[in-house]
């Protein structure tokens, strides 16, 4: 089967890694001013890395899992000696003192890191318009958003600026932008990938994962970065799986659930396209049974997610106090601690980050904790238990990734709420730490924007999710992408 990522791997051997990097660099130079995906491009370093790969190839030394593929990295992941801005003024000039485990592994496995890409400030958002550094546009229609918070990653993929991206998903930040830009991605089971060296948004939700052109790209990156890490005690202490070699081994017989609630508030065209894909999949895989079921508790996922994320986020942001981490204070900021902290935070954080810090602080105060935080934690437990029961009946759940296609910039109000609602279908998986992937299954007939199909698995069934994503690609290949330039 013609696979975008397979072609890229073949090209490395035929053309050489350096030639490919040069081509990507030229493309970025020519077009990224329109898209706004890169925060920094590592021209020299990428060429150096490519030269090493070419040397290996010329000496017939086998390449690692990454096979010389070119990777762009969401700028909340530490790369030694490079800026780690998190899309915020607060960290605009901060240089990472060490490599995150994921980056270390990508390099060891012969991946080439080409640059860092844009994100909503500290990952707060679904449109990539909330970065303090730049606006990212959807390469398929520049008047529309690329999705968020990993909009720089999805835009870079669709624009053809790299082979793969390393991204992060707390509540949909991989799946939303992948869906909006017509590419694919997976949020792995919580604990699959080390978070060491990743700037945390909400520790009990955050997970690194790929945004790629296809399931092979997702599987390759996940093979490279997953596995136990002594620096992150939440990583699984289990044997490493091989996602690539199992990609085409989808079991014949599966029972797949479709929650009725997945279509509540979903745009008509999105629903039609998802239902058509389900029909096509059943025709292609006669032993796979699809069944609709009722999942009323899932309606609580959005409030659970936001209440807990606000709380964890407010706590994660406390370290940026103008003294030790991030922007430092100066004599105009006041003379006492409270004024200094307040002055530095006021000028260095954007509106959405401030909103979440204020709400999170409110929710976690002693007086209000029981009314909000404790209830959200209890509800999260109920949701997790319900998912466990559901996965006793079904192998996978499927439905739309996002209830709509990429919206036009300015179309959603900036008060937060409308945007929070857009996450209704992605956050349930994060609340329960479940693997969830998205694959493109076509375009909306009226505006031609891509529609993403979501596959959610039980904890630890990332392999099955990827296998199913690969089966979808057989009936609905996502590429070639057609950026506007």
Q: Report the Cα 445 to chain-centroid distance in Å.
A: 26
Q: Which is nearer to ligand GLN, 344 or 402 (CB)?
A: 402
- Residue 60 appears among annotated catalytic residues: no
Q: Is 125 in the site for ligand GLN (CB under 6 A)?
A: yes
CB-side neighbour CA atoms (13 Å) of 435: 27
Helix (H), strand (E) at residue 166: strand 164-169
For residues 2, 7, 10 and 12, what is the CA-based torsion angle, rounded to 10 degrees?
A: 180
Secondary structure letter of residue 401 according to DSSP: S
Q: Is 126 in the site for ligand GLN (CB under 6 A)?
A: yes
Q: Per DSSP, what are the bridge partners of residue 71? A: 113, 164
Select which of 149, 153, 154, 199 is catalytic: 149
Q: Which is nearer to ligand GLN, 309 or 363 (CB)?
A: 309
Q: Which is nearer to ligand GLN, 43 or 232 (CB)?
A: 232
Contact between 398 and 455 under an 8 Å Cβ cutoff? The reply is yes
Give least dist CB 419 to ligand GLN, A. Answer: 7
**CB burial string 348-377: b at 16+ within 10 A, e below:** bbbebbeebbebbbebbeeeeeeebbeebe
CB-side neighbour CA atoms (13 Å) of 5: 28
Q: Is 151 in the site for ligand GLN (CB under 6 A)?
A: no
For residues 268, 271, 276 and 278, what is the CA-based torsion angle, rounded to 10 degrees?
A: -170
Options 79-87, 171-179, 448-456, 464-472: segment touching ligand GLN (CB under 6 A): 171-179
Nearest to 2 by CA among 385, 337, 474: 474
- Residue 74 appears among annotated catalytic residues: yes
Give least dist CB 124 to ligand GLN, A. Answer: 5
Please identify which residue in the block is written with the tokens 């449109």: 127
Q: Is 5 in the site for ligand GLN (CB under 6 A)?
A: no
Q: Which is nearer to ligand GLN, 139 or 185 (CB)?
A: 185
Q: Which is nearer to ligand GLN, 198 or 398 (CB)?
A: 198
Sole binder of ligand GLN in the list 25, 91, 103, 124 (CB under 6 A): 124
Contact between 87 and 346 under an 8 Å Cβ cutoff? The reply is no
Nearest to 437 by CA among 455, 452, 461, 417: 455
Select which of 37, 173, 215, 348 is catalytic: 173
Give least dist CB 206 to ligand GLN, A. Answer: 7
Sole binder of ligand GLN in the list 69, 112, 201, 219 (CB under 6 A): 201
- Residue 149 appears among annotated catalytic residues: yes
Beta strands in 219-314 (DSSP E): 254-259, 288-293
Q: Which is nearer to ligand GLN, 340 or 353 (CB)?
A: 353
Give least dist CB 398 to ligand GLN, A. Answer: 20
Q: Is 317 in the site for ligand GLN (CB under 6 A)?
A: no
- What is the footprint of ligand GLN within residues 64-123 (CB under 6 A)? 123
Give least dist CB 130 to ligand GLN, A. Answer: 9
Q: Is 167 in the site for ligand GLN (CB under 6 A)?
A: no
Binding site for ligand GLN (CB under 6 A): 123-126, 149, 169-173, 201, 309, 423
Active site residues: 74, 149, 173
């Amino acid at each position: 089967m013609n696979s975008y990522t397979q072609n890229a791997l073949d090209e490395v051997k035929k053309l050489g890694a350096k030639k490919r990097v040069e081509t990507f660099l030229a493309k970025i130079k020519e077009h990224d001013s329109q898209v706004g995906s890169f925060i920094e491009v590592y021209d020299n370093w990428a060429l150096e890395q490519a030269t090493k790969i070419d040397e290996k190839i010329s000496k017939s030394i086998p390449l690692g899992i990454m096979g010389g593929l070119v990777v762009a990295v969401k700028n909340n992941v530490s790369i030694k000696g490079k800026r780690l801005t998190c899309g915020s003024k607060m960290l605009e000039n901060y240089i990472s003192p060490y490599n995150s485990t994921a980056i270390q592994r990508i390099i060891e496995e012969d991946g080439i890191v080409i640059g860092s890409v844009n994100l909503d400030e500290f990952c707060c958002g679904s449109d990539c318009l909330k970065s303090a550094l730049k606006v990212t546009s959807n390469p398929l229609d520049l008047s529309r958003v690329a999705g968020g918070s990993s909009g720089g990653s999805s835009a870079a993929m669709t624009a053809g600026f790299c082979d793969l991206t390393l991204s992060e998903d707390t509540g949909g930040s991989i799946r939303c932008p992948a869906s909006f830009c017509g590419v694919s991605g997976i949020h792995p089971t919580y604990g699959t990938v080390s978070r060491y060296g990743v700037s945390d948004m909400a520790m009990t939700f955050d997970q690194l994962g790929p945004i790629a052109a296809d399931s092979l790209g997702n599987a390759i990156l996940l093979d490279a970065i997953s596995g136990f890490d002594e620096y992150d005690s939440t990583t699984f202490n289990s044997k490493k799986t091989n996602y690539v070699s199992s990609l085409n081994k989808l079991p014949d017989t599966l029972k797949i659930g479709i929650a009725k609630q997945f279509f509540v508030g979903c745009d008509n065209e999105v629903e039609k396209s998802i239902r058509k894909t389900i029909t096509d999949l059943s025709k292609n895989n006669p032993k796979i049974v699809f069944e609709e079921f009722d999942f009323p508790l899932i309606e609580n996922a959005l409030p659970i997610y936001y209440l807990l994320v606000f709380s964890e986020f407010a706590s994660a942001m406390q370290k940026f106090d103008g003294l030790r981490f991030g922007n430092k204070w100066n004599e105009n900021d006041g003379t006492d601690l409270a004024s200094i902290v307040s002055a530095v935070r006021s000028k260095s954080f954007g509106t959405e980050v401030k909103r979440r810090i204020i709400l999170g602080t409110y929710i976690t105060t002693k007086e209000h904790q029981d009314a909000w935080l404790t209830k959200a934690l209890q509800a999260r437990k109920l949701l997790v238990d319900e998912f466990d029961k559901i996965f006793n009946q079904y192998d996978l759940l499927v439905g739309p990734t996002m209830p709509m296609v990429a919206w036009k910039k300015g179309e959603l109000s900036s008060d937060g709420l409308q945007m929070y609602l857009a996450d209704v279908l992605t956050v349930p998986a994060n609340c329960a730490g479940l693997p969830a992937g998205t694959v493109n299954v076509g375009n909306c007939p009226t505006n031609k924007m891509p529609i993403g199909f979501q596959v959610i698995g039980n904890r630890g069934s990332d392999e099955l999710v990827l296998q199913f994503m690969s089966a979808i690609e057989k009936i609905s290949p996502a590429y070639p992408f057609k950026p506007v330039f």
